[in-house]
Amino acid sequence: MRILGIDPGLRVTGFGVLEKHGSRLQYVTSGVIRTGDGTLPARLRIIFESVAELVDTYRPDQAAIEKVFVNVNPQSTLLLGQARGAAITALSVGGLEVFEYTPMQLKQAVVGYGRARKEQVQEMVTRLLALTGTPGKDASDALGVAICHAHSGETYSALVNVAPTLAAKGLRVRRGRLVG
């Protein structure tokens, strides 16, 4: 299975592609999409077109994207959400099912600690994928999202598929856990 991970950002959007063979993960590529200082619509278009090009080039089977966290500055949060929306739209138009993970889920899956620092995520991504160099922070986060999905995607899919049945019984899934 080939997974495309996205770490959305309005100025810099990270991406990472890996393959999962059983329990083994293999690095394919990673990098960033830089949008420059243009107008908001122009920058969103760059994100959309670049993510669409990644889908066409690498033909992933699934995509995972980091969820927006609420920032101190509401304007920054709104802009990040728009960048994320452009990326999700490109993934969806490309025919991919999109899975979403919080920064805490990503850090827990990669480092084993949900409040890990970005440098710790970088180091563990480098180790887990046996990379010869350390990717930048945005590319590392994107690879981390892909790793998170590789480790928990099947469980996540199963929970999403049974959610309507659970809801009918008065149960729901919250933060990956079943609650009443």
Q: Cite the active site residues.
A: 7, 66, 138
Q: Annotated binding residue at 100?
A: no
Please check if 7 is assigned to a binding site.
yes
66 annotated to bind ligand: yes
- CA dist 73 and 59 (Å) reads 36
Structure tokens at 172: 């729901």
- Token pair 């990503």 is found at 106
Classify the C-alpha dihedral 111-134-139-38 as positive or negative: positive
With the C-alpha atoms ordered 68, 73, 74, 76, is the resulting torsion angle positive or negative?
Answer: negative
Residues 6+ apart with CB under 8 A from 120: 107, 111, 113
The beta-strand segments (E) located in 38-148 are: 62-66, 98-101
**Distance (Å, whole) CA 146 – CA 85:** 18
Contact predicate 142/159, CB 8 Å: no
Residues at the annotated binding site? 7, 66, 138
Residues at the annotated binding site for Mg(2+)? 7, 66, 138
